[in-house]
Structure 1
């Protein structure tokens, strides 16, 4: 069997040169070498990179979605690939067999579109929000899911050829869900593989200044882009209620409300509602697209 060709994409804003170098060192130690490695400086200059690593320095921060699309385009220019692995620049591959494990998973399942890594801190702990299931359970238990983690994952290039890349409009927040829903609607599978680990320091999503606005705006865009019309108000109503219950600060709630209104009034790209059989498939996997 032909060995799968794997490309690595890393975004950085130039503020973590030590962590980036450590990550690149861990990539270089993999027992299945990456065919190509691309580092994108997202609105920032790049530090010196090791030989064999391609750097792209952008003058403007294009967000997670835009930056990953730039990395994907650069990887395509460098040569044919079967898989693309996206890694956070402050992550670390603590095992040398991550890429070979991914190759095995994809070789065993031709319809595997996305593999979501387990994100763990230095003590091996996985945050609840880093397990892509509603009922989290044991983070060491893998299986088929309906979404994936942005910090560490693998994408099938044949899948990307069919469904397209990241949603540029989103900039940051829910871009993984947008891609996941398109993959599921095209018949691809998403697997949470806890044996594939990216070590990552403990973080809170609210560390990003635009978190509340982007989360709300992009949640509305998800519904407008992908849900059958009857499910749009249900999905948005459920999330509005959950946000109201979970809200901890008046400033955060005001930013959320502004983002929600922005999502309602602004265009979000082409609308292509998922099929009802995809809704049923997601429901059977434990996460119907109303929550």
Structure 2
């Protein structure tokens, strides 16, 4: 069986030139070369990037999922790749055999749709919130999961052709859950593989000014798009309680509630709820779609 061809997608706003240069160098040093590397500039011309990659400068900021979709559409329509690796522009591949391991994993299991990398800081530490399961005490525990981190992962191109691409309208936040739930509902597997490491600085998602608003809005959209009707109030009720318990910032809570009601009022995109057998499958994997 031939090994899958690897494509790489990176989206940048041009604000981390040194980190981006280091990331592109770590992609270049992989012992299995990528068939194509696509760099999308969200509202940035990419004129300072000298690496030999396909550059797509965009006049407007499409958000991370929207920018990635531009590259994914190019790779999908070109027919050049079978697997796509997507990386944050401030990440780094510390090992040079990442693409080879990705190839092997997809060859071993034709129903594997998504591989989630382990994210670790410069000291090798993986925060609990970076482990895509509820029992996050052991970041080295490999296995099938119901979610993945957007910073470093690999997609099967056949899966993307079946499920569709990112929910670009989300712009920032919960687009990973939307895609993961679609993949699971279509029968694909999601594997968390801690041997695949993306080094990433320890940062808080709340550093983004729009974090609270988009987090709340997109969580409502996610529920409206993907959950069976009886689970929508359960899911949203659980997250209201968790948010009220965890958020200490009055400004953050105000923005969160504004986003929540925006999610209720505004169009969320096409609704295609998951099947009840997918709900049961996610429950057996350790994370029912109410958490």
- Shorter-chain TM range is over 0.9
Cα distance change, pair 51–239 in 1 and its aligned pair in 2 (3 A)? closer
Aligned-CA RMSD value: 0.9
Residue 68 of structure 1 corresponds to 68
Tell me the TM-score normalised to structure 1 length: 0.98
Matched, 1:4 2:4: yes
The alignment partner of 2:187 has SS state of coil
Counterpart-to-counterpart distance in 2, 1:252 and 1:113: 35
Q: How far apart are residue 178 of structure 1 and its match?
A: 0.2
The alignment partner of 1:194 has SS state of strand
Residue 257 of structure 1 corresponds to 257
Counterpart-to-counterpart distance in 2, 1:143 and 1:260: 33
Q: How far apart are residue 234 of structure 1 and its match?
A: 0.3
Q: How far apart are residue 116 of structure 1 and its match?
A: 0.3
Counterpart-to-counterpart distance in 2, 1:50 and 1:2: 32
Counterpart-to-counterpart distance in 1, 2:79 and 2:161: 14
Per-residue Cα deviation, 1:58-78 (whole angstroms, up to 9, x for no partner)? 010000111010111222344
In the comparison of the two structures, how many residue pairs are matched? 291
Residue 197 of structure 2 corresponds to 197
Contact 2:3 / 2:104 at 8 angstroms: preserved in 1?
A: no
Q: How far apart are residue 137 of structure 1 and its match?
A: 2.0
Unaligned runs of 5+ in 1: none
Counterpart-to-counterpart distance in 1, 2:220 and 2:79: 37
Residue 208 of structure 1 corresponds to 208
Counterpart-to-counterpart distance in 1, 2:76 and 2:274: 28
Unaligned runs of 5+ in 2: none
Residue 120 of structure 1 corresponds to 120
Contact 1:36 / 1:78 at 8 angstroms: preserved in 2?
A: no
Q: How far apart are residue 79 of structure 1 and its match?
A: 3.7
Contact 1:234 / 1:290 at 8 angstroms: preserved in 2?
A: yes
Contact 2:76 / 2:157 at 8 angstroms: preserved in 1?
A: no
Residue 275 of structure 2 corresponds to 275
Residue 32 of structure 1 corresponds to 32
Q: Greater CA deviation, 197-206 or 44-53?
A: 44-53
Q: Greater CA deviation, 210-219 or 14-23?
A: 14-23
Per-residue Cα deviation, 1:168-224 (whole angstroms, up to 9, x for no partner)? 110000000000000000000000000000001111010100000000000000100
Contact 2:121 / 2:202 at 8 angstroms: preserved in 1?
A: yes
Counterpart-to-counterpart distance in 2, 1:145 and 1:97: 23
Tell me the TM-score normalised to structure 2 length: 0.98
Counterpart-to-counterpart distance in 1, 2:277 and 2:76: 32
